Amino acid sequence: MSTYMTPGGAGANMSIKEYSRKIEPALYNAMQFIPLIKERAEKIMDGLYVRRLGRVATQTMSTTNDGTTVTFSDLAPTAFQLSPAWVLAAAAYPDSAPRRHGDEIDPAYAANLTAALAAGLDTLVLAEIQAGTTTPIGDGSTSIDSTKLRAALTALETNSKRLVKAGLSELNVLLDTGQVGASLAIPEINNAYQRGDGKSPTVSGRISTGLGFKFDYTTLLASDGNGKHGAAFHGDAIHYGYNQRPKAEKQRYLKQTRLMSDAEIGFETIYQELLQPIRTA
């Protein structure tokens, strides 16, 4: 009587398994916050000071005043220091790895390090939202809605002495990705006739504008017992600069290949008035 080989049965030891040549990348949130804030032209070296002038008070004078009663304002600026932080992403593999696993390891590792560094830099600078001194709108038990967005817009226009104006200024809202659904429930975002255009996000899948803000979402916001630390902001609120922009390199050490990508960045909030923290669940 013949014996038939079946998969997983008598012929299992004759099976050969293959792997695809391409190595799929890990997933990282793209850098979204840093490109929206203000970059300084200078290198920051060991620390770059940004000077912000004080405000001048106006005064009235009678037509017979000889000027002796004039009060002069001291415009001595406030100095904000951008201190550099060195951020590094690194990975390594032994010389035997490409021989056994394929030459795809090198480009796959390099691409992952580049993406990791971008996410790491954005995470670092996003912590500046958490350090904001303006009273946050919302908390960790609520989601974004029209009321919170209107409150954020009111705060920005008021605090900036109307330097910020809806429709005339580049206003951004950055929230946690968990707020995508809640955002779609806001009429000024969801309904084309209230957005002022002909594109409905429920059709296009794009949530881009509403209530004068440009919307974006990230997984990198700081999170604690008070919720996810998002914000409505103008790009001039936070200044940053690089001593070294993201740069990749490869090194040899004994019988190992080392891949590294690093950058050195400094940042500081210059205008708290242009940053309105928003906390959500």
pLDDT band at 189 (very low <50, low <70, confident <90, very high): confident
In a domain, 19, yes or no: no
In a domain, 156, yes or no: yes
In a domain, 44, yes or no: yes
In percent, the amount of the chain with pLDDT more than 70 equals 89
Q: Please check the confidence at residue 195 and state whether its pLDDT lies above 60.
A: no
> Quick check: 87 and 120 in contact, CB under 8 A?
yes
Which whole number is the average pLDDT over 203-214?
69
CB neighbour list of residue 86: distance below 8 Å, 6 or more residues apart: 262, 263, 264
Q: Please check the confidence at residue 106 and state whether its pLDDT lies above 90.
A: yes
Which whole number is the average pLDDT over 45-73?
93
In a domain, 272, yes or no: yes
Quick one: which H or E segment has residue 193? helix 192-195
pLDDT score, position 168: 80
In a domain, 81, yes or no: yes
For the chain, give the mean pLDDT: 90
In a domain, 4, yes or no: no
Which whole number is the average pLDDT over 59-63?
92
Task: Name the least confident of 9-18, 127-136, 143-152.
Answer: 9-18
Which whole number is the average pLDDT over 148-173?
92
Q: State the pTM of this model.
A: 0.88
pLDDT score, position 191: 64
**What separation in angstroms does the CA of 48 have from each of 146, 246, 247?**
39, 19, 21
In a domain, 177, yes or no: yes
In a domain, 2, yes or no: no
Tell me which residue range forms the domain holding 45: 34-51+77-280
d(C-alpha 94, C-alpha 81), whole Å: 42
pLDDT score, position 133: 83
Number of domains within the chain: 1
